[in-house]
Amino acid sequence: MQEETENKVHIITGAGSGIGRACVKLLSKKPGKLVLVDFNQESLDSLVVELKQESNTDSNDVLTLNLSVSSASDMSKMATETMERFGRIDCLIASAGILRLGGTLKMIADTSLEEWNAVLETNLTGTFLSNQAVLPAMLEQKRGDIINISSTSGRQGRPFDGPYSASKFGIIGLSESLAEEVSIQGIRVQTVLPDAVETPLWDQNGPAALKPVSALPPERVAEFILFLLDLPRDTYLPNPVIAPMKQRKKRGKKS
Report the amino acid identity of residue 91: C
Which one-letter DSSP state was computed for residue 192? E
Closest to 168 (Cα-Cα) out of 149, 145, 142: 149
Q: Are 21 and 47 in contact (CB under 8 A)?
A: yes
Helix ranges restricted to H, the chain: 2-6, 18-27, 41-55, 72-86, 113-120, 126-141, 162-182, 218-229
Closest to 85 (Cα-Cα) out of 154, 161, 156, 10: 10
Report the amino acid identity of residue 27: L
Strand partners, 216: 197
Count of positions (residues) in the chain = 255
End-to-end CA distance of the chain, in Å?
Answer: 64
- 134 burial via Cβ count (<10 Å: 0-12, 13-18, 19+): buried
Q: Are 37 and 67 in contact (CB under 8 A)?
A: yes
Rg (CA), the chain: 18
Give every CB contact of residue 234 below 8 A, 6+ residues apart in sequence.
Answer: none
- 236 as an active site residue: the answer is no
Residue from 39, 86, 128, 164 carrying the catalytic annotation: 164
- Catalytic site positions: 164
